[in-house]
């Protein structure tokens, strides 16, 4: 079942985060993932607005977990941990 990774990002170091944005996509693609939304304009319907929002799609929850823990993502993750504060969740998609 398809899974989505939803990431709320607060960038602390813009230059380092730009480098992260170069490093992350190949690791996502290597695990069958793709970007659905990446820092685009948001319209808050309820609650506090996010600083930046990213939505990824993976073939399954397991593939999303494998990406997050992968050696391919590790260098980008280490850089991101210094460059931003995040909240990241993975959720399985439901059937239509």
Per the CB < 8 A criterion, the answer to whether 6 and 86 are in contact is: no
CA distance 30 to 93: 20
Check residue 39 and give its pLDDT.
85
Q: Which CATH code for domain 3-42+51-92?
A: 3.30.70.100
Q: What is the pTM of this model?
A: 0.91
Listed by start position, the domains of the chain span: 3-42+51-92
In this structure, what token pair is assigned to residue 90? 């993975």
pLDDT band at 95 (very low <50, low <70, confident <90, very high): low
The pLDDT tens digits of the residues spanning 13-38 come to 999 999 999 999 999 999 999 999 99
Cα–Cα nearest to 75, from 30, 40, 33, 35: 30
Bridge partners of 86, per DSSP, are 9
């Amino acid at each position: 079942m398809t899974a989505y990774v939803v990431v709320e990002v607060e960038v602390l170091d813009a230059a380092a985060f730009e480098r992260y944005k170069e490093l992350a996509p190949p690791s996502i693609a290597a695990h069958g993932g793709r970007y659905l939304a990446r820092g685009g304009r948001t319209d808050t319907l309820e609650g506090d607005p996010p600083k930046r929002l990213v939505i990824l799609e993976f073939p399954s929850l397991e593939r999303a977990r494998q990406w997050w823990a992968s050696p391919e993502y590790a260098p980008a993750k280490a850089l991101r941990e210094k460059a931003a504060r995040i909240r990241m969740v993975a959720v399985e998609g439901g059937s239509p």
